[in-house]
Structure 1
Amino acid sequence: MVTNRTESKFLERVRIALTNAETHPKIKAALAEFGVDETKFTEGWQMYNLAKKSWEFNQQEESETRLVSNAYHSAYGELEMKFKRHRDLSQILCKRDPDTLIQLGVKGRFPTKYNEFFDKVKLFYTSIGSDPAIQTKLAMIKLTPEIATACLAELDALLKLRAEFDREMGESQASTVSKNAALHNLSDWMDEFDTLAKLALYDTPQRLEVLGILVRS
């Protein structure tokens, strides 16, 4: 069975085996006697090309997902740090004003799930931007409507990154399923090929090594 760690190595081994089997006259003739003819080679190359293409596409999708993930988590961390500071200062300032704390949505634990975080950030900065009484109260800690507007803009950008991250994750997972299926089919085909090669080249085991099949001495 092909594992993630050996996928590239496996694909290269298949390419070398098919290439050498086709270009080595004696090996090709011996294989033909066991049913490995031109049709079989064509089938093998088709499965290899599909697996190779699927593998390369999956590598690309995973790379794109990592890039978007880095951008998303970086933006999340920056907004989280700002929100935590503003939230802490507001809790300290309004310790004896539970109604304001409720309006700001800062009572209770700090949100750890991303969807809860988005909701709390939205409520907090929207309340600051729309309520003059809260603005007056938070002026002492220099938490202005302009800062609230800027943080809401950061939230909007973060939400877009989250959507892109989810989309890339879905595409990457789909490409992984396709890649695994193609590699599995090619692995099964190569198992049969190797078995036939071992039968065809039993008396000339050194030729098996030309196909990438290790022979015990």
Structure 2
Amino acid sequence: MSKSKISELQYLENYRLLFTNLEEVQDLKTELAEYGYNDTKIAEGKTLLDHTQQLYQQNKQETAEEKEAYAQFADAFSLLKKTYGKHRKVAKVALMKKTELWKSLAIDGSLSAAYLKALEEIKTFYQQAQAHSDAKPLLEKFKIDKTAVDAQVAQIQQVESLRAAYEKEKGESQNATQQKNKAFTELSDWVREFYAVAQIALDDRPQLLESIGKFVRS
């Protein structure tokens, strides 16, 4: 039967309790000091804990900002595609007798699922809607005019700006995760070594060993 995964938050709480008990139980400090775990050595571990807690909170913040940035980008892109979808249908009707123009406006197939390719197809449509001499007058009859195109071009720029912001937040979130994981590893290594020594130092005083538990991150 597999062990249930302990959350990082629970590990932090376990470590906090460890250092709290180390500070409050004088007998523990006395016994461990004889094996090299004096105030200076314990402070080293506490510093690692404080650093890990800080990076954990930073990682949570960066993750939240990444999710928010993605939601803003996704909403803007969804709005762009919704309006484009209507224009696309209208364009096929407007150009029903000139289907050879569909390719020029990139409406001869389905809209690509991939973001970059889809955006390029949408850009092509609105660019050609105003630039193509044969298509422009036919589309304008169905209200795909300069005003409608300019509004969509502005929306495209908004999508691209929000996509850039999301990629920035994504990178910061990934970096924060790496830094947090590194800190957890360093802290858990310290705690693992500490317990190895503590089990020797407190071999004849198991009640003291119990008072600090065994909270080692796997």
Q: TM-score, normalised by structure 1?
A: 0.89
Aligned to 1:23: 24
Question: Which ranges of 4 or more aligned residues in structure 1 deviate by more than 4 Å?
Answer: none
> Cα distance, 1:40 vs. partner?
1.2
1:151 aligns with 2:132: no
RMSD: 2.0
Structure 2 distance, partners of 1:120, 1:180, is: 41
1:206 aligns with 2:182: no
Choose 18-27 or 200-209, whichever is displaced more.
200-209
> Cα distance, 1:51 vs. partner?
1.3
Which digits, 9 at most, give the CA deviation of each residue in 1:79-102, with x for residues without a partner? 111112211222243233133212
The answer on whether the counterparts of 1:135 and 1:145 sit within 8 Å (CA) in structure 2 is no
Q: CA 1:120/1:131 → structure 2, altered by over 3 Å: closer, same or farther?
A: same
1:93 aligns with 2:56: no
Q: How many residues align?
A: 212
Aligned to 1:189: 190
Match of 2:144, as an amino acid? L
Q: Could you list the runs of 5+ residues in structure 1 that have no partner in the other structure?
A: none
Aligned to 2:70: 69
- Which structure carries more helix by proportion? 1
The answer on whether the counterparts of 2:95 and 2:135 sit within 8 Å (CA) in structure 1 is no
Which digits, 9 at most, give the CA deviation of each residue in 1:33-74, with x for residues without a partner? 222112211210221122112111111110110110111111
Structure 2 distance, partners of 1:199, 1:83, is: 71
Q: TM-score, normalised by structure 2?
A: 0.89
Q: Could you list the runs of 5+ residues in structure 2 that have no partner in the other structure?
A: none
